[in-house]
């Protein structure tokens, strides 16, 4: 196993006025208030399912709850903004009733939806799979909201992304993508920018593993690095299994991501990810 020589620059996030250190990697638990996410075990469209899932995420040790209402799986159905907001509101009301102080991120590429979630429900972070490409108002909106922004790499839309997997130089093109957008966000006054390489989005199976192998190059950008590979096709297509059988593969890749410099793991299985963080952190802190 190669331990990456990633700079140990202290990083933190301002989440609703609380400065959260990233000296220990954080675990972000996925809350899908959708009927059609790729992993059936994560779908929680009904209120009682949402409540049970929120309790599970918190009890298993998540640092952040990431709520999403628009499935980003390939060929996912498009839904209207009003329907997305309706689903999010149902979940956010439950979160704020059960855990009013919880750190919450909203997974949306729509500026108006992000704004409502922050202003009406106290959401502290915006997670945009499109890197600002699907709503030209997103960067200005995040700057106005003054919340951390997760900048993900994707080409096209969830419906078309897997037809846009050609790269002349994958890593170089992605590094340029992030550098250009970070500069635009900084010019607007956005301070907390998290980069997400977008595993599975507009990338072939080989691209995903090439990206994992060179993850440290993104960690060197000096920004918090988020990795989301939980139960994705890069696992079950390689192994000839299914999302339901991909927990072990997820833990392996989460370990590699942490060794590559990841600061946040976005996962379905919080307990296992928290254990992975604890074990890897202990190993790296132990020295020779």
| Predicted pLDDT of residue 1 | 39
Q: Which of 266, 271, 278, 282 is catalytic?
A: 266
pLDDT, position 2 = 45
Among 9, 53, 232, 282, the active-site one is 232
Q: Name the 3-class secondary structure at 67.
A: strand
**Predicted local distance difference test score (pLDDT) of residue 79:** 86
- What pLDDT does residue 73 have? 65
Domain boundaries, the chain: 24-282
Task: Indicate if 232 belongs to the active site.
Answer: yes
Tokens 């075990």 map to which residue? 41
- Please check whether the domain covering 24-282 is classified as CATH 1.10.3720.10: no
Q: Strands 125-128 and 149-152, how do they pair?
A: parallel
How, if at all, do strands 264-267 and 18-21 pair? unpaired
The whole-number pLDDT of residue 136 equals: 95
Query: Which pLDDT score, from 0 to 100, does residue 101 have?
Result: 96
Give yes or no: 53 in active site.
Answer: no
Specify the pLDDT at position 17. 94
Tell me which residues of the chain have a pLDDT lower than 50: 1-3, 39
pLDDT at 155: 87
Residues 6 or more apart whose Cβ sits within 8 Å of residue 101 = none
> What pLDDT, on a 0 to 100 scale, did the predictor assign at position 40?
55
pLDDT at residue 184, rounded to an integer: 98
**CA distances (Å), origin 4, targets 26, 186, 199, 254, 257:** 19, 28, 19, 14, 10
Residue 158: per-residue pLDDT: 76
């Amino acid at each position: 196993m190669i331990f990456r020589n990633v700079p140990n620059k202290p990083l933190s996030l301002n989440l609703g006025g609380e400065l959260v250190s990233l000296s220990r990697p954080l675990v972000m638990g996925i809350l899908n208030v959708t009927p059609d996410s790729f992993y059936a075990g994560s779908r929680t469209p009904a209120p009682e399912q949402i409540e049970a899932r929120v309790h599970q995420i918190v009890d298993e040790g998540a640092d952040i709850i990431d709520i999403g209402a628009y499935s980003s799986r390939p060929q996912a159905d498009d839904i209207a903004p009003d329907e997305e907001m309706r689903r999010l509101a149902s979940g956010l009301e439950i979160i704020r009733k059960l855990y009013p102080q919880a750190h919450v991120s909203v997974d949306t590429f729509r500026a108006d939806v992000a704004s409502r979630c922050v202003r009406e429900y106290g959401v502290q972070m915006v997670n945009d799979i499109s890197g600002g490409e699907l709503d030209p108002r997103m960067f200005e909106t995040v700057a106005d909201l003054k919340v951390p922004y997760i900048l993900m790499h994707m080409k096209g839309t969830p419906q078309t992304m897997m037809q846009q997997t050609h790269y002349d130089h994958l890593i170089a093109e992605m590094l340029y993508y992030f550098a250009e957008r970070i500069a635009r966000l900084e010019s607007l006054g956005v301070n907390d920018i998290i980069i997400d390489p977008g595993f599975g989005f507009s990338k072939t199976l080989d691209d995903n593993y090439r990206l994992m192998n060179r993850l440290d190059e993104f960690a060197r950008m000096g920004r918090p690095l988020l990795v989301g590979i939980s139960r994705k096709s890069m696992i079950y297509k390689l192994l000839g299994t299914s999302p339901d059988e991909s927990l072990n593969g997820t833990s392996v890749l989460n370990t590699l991501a942490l060794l590559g410099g990841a600061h946040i793991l976005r996962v379905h299985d919080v307990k296992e990810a928290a254990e992975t963080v604890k074990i890897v952190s202990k190993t790296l802190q132990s020295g020779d």
